[in-house]
Structure 1
Amino acid sequence: MKDTILLVGHGSREKSGNDEIERFAALWRARHPHWRTELCFIEFAEVEVEDGLDLAATGSERVIVVPLILNAAGHVNVEIPSHIARARLRHAGVRFDYAPHLGVCEPVLEVLRRQLKQCMHALDMPDPTGTGVVLLGRGSSNREANGEMARMARWLFEEGDHELVDLAFTGIAWPRLERVVQRQVQLGMRQVIVLPYYLFTGTLIQRIGRQVEHLRLQYPQVRFASGTHFGFEPEIAQLLAGRVDALMHGALAAVPVSDEAAQWEAHHHDHDHAHPHEHAHPHEHAHDHAEHGH
């Protein structure tokens, strides 16, 4: 069967974010020269999902759609399936298989575990009992997406001796980083580690860096360390490649995509513009989309 892999990145207003995803795709092609691989983006890029699907379908018998996305919100559950459903109508002779998003799994936990260990080594007092941890992701109006992050925070807590492993969001959902750090300091944490839950750089990663610098000024008595986005960690590519291989050989079932998904309209998808709490906090940039590749 003539297979084509279609990697789907989120896309960013910040060019460096899209450049990183392009570089990820280039490394992927180098590692898997026997696979034909194409790349598209959900938004903020020249080649978006509709065009990517058409490109991948050309000359192919099967297209395996691989989302470079950590959590299952509107993009994963509604938007990409709708594009796949419409592509099936345009390319009747082509089979489209949809791979799972990265999700909550041991390989992603291993990346976070390693980042946490590196941050601890960078601190003056590597004592987990006095060091709070904040897992910081992009919030969603989808409770399942927020719940996946909560599971990962719980897993991190159970892995070590940190008294506090809390969850914070850069937008849409609550609490925000500043409030979580305030609580941890009030509870006696002398050090705080911020772990961004993002695959690639972008506007939100840049904002997180500015926020951590602001917190250092606000709490001079507290030591801060922060991780970084982790799309190039080996576990990510290995996890995706394993799923592609399993789909190709029938060892993994594709994510179901219903015919009704073709009726989806753009205003239904989860860009989280209208979370009611946002209107009470106009200084929060609710319009910033996920950079989670997110």
Structure 2
Amino acid sequence: MTTTILLVGHGSRNQTGNDEIKAFKQQWQQQHPDWRIELCYIELADVLLPEGLQHAAQGADRVIVIPLILSAAGHVKAEIPEHIAEVRERFPQVEFVYAPHIGANSEILKVLKNSLKSVMQKLAMPDPKNTGVIILGRGSSDRVANGELAKLARWLYEDTEHELIDIAFTGITHPRLETAIQRQVNLGMTQIAILPYYLFTGLLIERITLQVTRLQTQYPQIAIASGSYFGFDKAVFKLLDQRVFETDDPVAPKMLECDGCQYRELAIQHVHHDH
């Protein structure tokens, strides 16, 4: 059976962001030289989803579609499935498998914890009890997508000594970064660590950099530092590998609401042991 893995990036008006996704795809391909991995984008780039699906289907018996997207909102829940339904009609002999998006899970929690550790080093390792944390996401009209940040904030709270962990968004919904900073200053935080919840660079990452610089000027008595987007973290590659392997494993635990809990982790270990 010939399988094509189609990685679906969001796309950005910032060409550097699109180039990073291409470089990411190339690195993943190097890790699996025997896989056929292709790339397309939802918008704002050269190869869009309809073209990517059609090209992936040519000469393939099966296409695994994997959204390279952190949170499931309109693109993941509606737009990509609609395009898959259309291409199924054109290629009835090809099996199209729609894998889960990246999501908020234990691997992404590890990325956030590593990012927080890096920011704390920038701040000269202050007392975490006086150091507030803000997970900063893109923002969506989908409340479930926004809620994934709240879930990760709770997990981070339980795994660290930080007593104040908030979420904020760069657009669409609230609170915004400025409001979250003001709240943490009012609550007595003397340092603030900002953790961008993004995969790659783009216009919003540039905006965050400008906002952080302005906020550092606005609150000179507070040490404010920002982490980096996730980019090429090995945990992201690991998650994509899992998405591929799960399509071949009918007993593998799927992405559930309990993802990240100790019981699911034990279930995964049990499945791997059986194999």
Q: TM-score, normalised by structure 2?
A: 0.90
Show the counterpart of 1:48: 48
Show the counterpart of 1:233: 233
SS at match of 2:81: helix
* 1:111 and 2:84 correspond: no
CA distance in 2, matches of 1:176, 1:34: 44
Residues 83-142 of structure 1 show CA distances to partners (whole Å, capped at 9, x for unaligned) of: 111010111100000110111111000000011011112213511011000000011110
Tell me by how many angstroms 1:250 deviates.
3.7
CA distance in 2, matches of 1:154, 1:30: 35
Show the counterpart of 1:169: 169
Q: How does 1:16-165 map to 2 (within 5 A)?
A: 16-124=16-124, 126-165=126-165
Tell me by how many angstroms 1:210 deviates.
0.5
CA distance in 2, matches of 1:185, 1:27: 41
Tell me by how many angstroms 1:42 deviates.
0.3
SS at match of 2:182: helix
CA distance in 2, matches of 1:60, 1:125: 52
Deviates more, 1:240-249 or 1:192-201: 240-249
Are residues 216 and 38 of structure 1, via their aligned partners in 2, closer, same or farther at CA, if it must alter by over 3 Å? same
Tell me by how many angstroms 1:46 deviates.
1.2
SS at match of 1:195: strand
CA distance in 2, matches of 1:122, 1:98: 40
SS at match of 2:134: strand
CA distance in 1, matches of 2:64, 2:254: 9
* Corresponding letter in the other structure for 1:187: L
* 1:203 and 2:203 correspond: yes
* Corresponding letter in the other structure for 2:229: H
Structure 1 unaligned regions, length at least 5: 256-294
**Count of aligned pairs between the two proteins:** 255
Q: Are 2:246 and 2:254, in contact at CA under 8 Å, matched by a contact in 1?
A: no
Q: Are 1:97 and 1:254, in contact at CA under 8 Å, matched by a contact in 2?
A: no
Q: Which has the higher contact order (CA 8 A, sep 6+)?
A: 1
* Corresponding letter in the other structure for 1:92: P
Q: CA RMSD in A?
A: 1.3
Residues 37-61 of structure 1 show CA distances to partners (whole Å, capped at 9, x for unaligned) of: 1100000011000000000000000
Q: Are 2:21 and 2:200, in contact at CA under 8 Å, matched by a contact in 1?
A: yes
* Corresponding letter in the other structure for 2:23: R
* 1:214 and 2:214 correspond: yes
Q: Are 1:247 and 1:254, in contact at CA under 8 Å, matched by a contact in 2?
A: no
Q: How does 1:174-189 map to 2 (within 5 A)?
A: 174-189=174-189
Percent identity, please: 56
Deviates more, 1:187-196 or 1:118-127: 118-127
CA distance in 1, matches of 2:234, 2:71: 19
Residues 169-209 of structure 1 show CA distances to partners (whole Å, capped at 9, x for unaligned) of: 00001000001100100111110000000000000011001
Deviates more, 1:236-245 or 1:205-214: 236-245
Q: TM-score, normalised by structure 1?
A: 0.85
SS at match of 1:193: strand
Runs of 4+ in 1 over 2 A off after TM superposition: 248-255
SS at match of 1:152: helix
Tell me by how many angstroms 1:149 deviates.
1.1
SS at match of 1:207: helix
* Corresponding letter in the other structure for 2:70: L
